[in-house]
Structure formats: C-alpha cells, structure tokens
Amino acid sequence: MFGFLKPAQGLEKDLRDWYAKDYVRIHGEQARTEAVEYASSKRVQYLIEDVMNSIVTRMSRAEGSLRLSGKKPSASDLSNWKSGMQLAEAVAKANGWRLEPDEEGCIKAK
C-alpha cells in the first residue's frame, strides 16, 4: 500500500509524521513540538524500531485487557497501529532492512 510508488525519503517523512501524530494521540496536543523534534532528530532505523516495538507493546496490552476485562481496542486504535506497522515495514524494505526480534524480543531493523 505505502511503498509501491513512493521513494524512500517520502516514506521516511510519512513515518516521522505518523510518529508525531501517534504521540499527540497519546499525550495530547501540547506534546506536538516534542514529538516532531524527536521524530526529526532520530535516525530512521531507530525510529522504525521505536514504532514497531511501541505498537507491539500496545497490542499485547490490548490483548491482555481483552482477556481480563473483555475490553476491545477501538477500531481507530487498530487502524492507527496497522498503518504505523505498514509504514515502518515499507521504510525498512525501501532501505533494504529486515525487521527481526533480538534475543530480548525487541524488534530490530537489520
């Protein structure tokens, strides 16, 4: 969906924008400047890892919440997580990296 016609730089910008938007969803509008600065200063390889690990953690928490209380994540959250993962995967692919878990289970772009 994201990576077929877009050059790597465009995908990287989209990922940085997605990160800032996601951070604002969680921490509020007052955190926008901090999120944009962080996303802009981070090496893209590490930003991919941050995005993937954050989403995996939130999905695991949502699964636990579903089991314990029956509370499902919102459709908006699921859609946001999916688009973040797709962007991170597209950027990794455009840069020739694979996404693999390390010994501790954290996703690394190699």
pLDDT at 7: 82
pLDDT at 5: 54
pLDDT at 48: 98
- Kindly report the pTM of this predicted structure: 0.88
Structure tokens belonging to residue 76: 């908006």
pLDDT at 67: 87
The CA–CA distances, whole Å, from 65 to 54, 73, 80, 108 equal 16, 9, 18, 26
**Which residues are registered as beta bridge partners of 101?**
107
Quote the Cα angle for 67-62-31, to 5°: 155
Per-residue pLDDT of the chain (110 residues; tens, 9 = 90+): 444 556 888 999 999 999 999 999 999 999 999 999 999 999 999 999 999 999 999 999 999 988 899 889 999 999 999 999 999 999 999 999 999 999 999 999 99
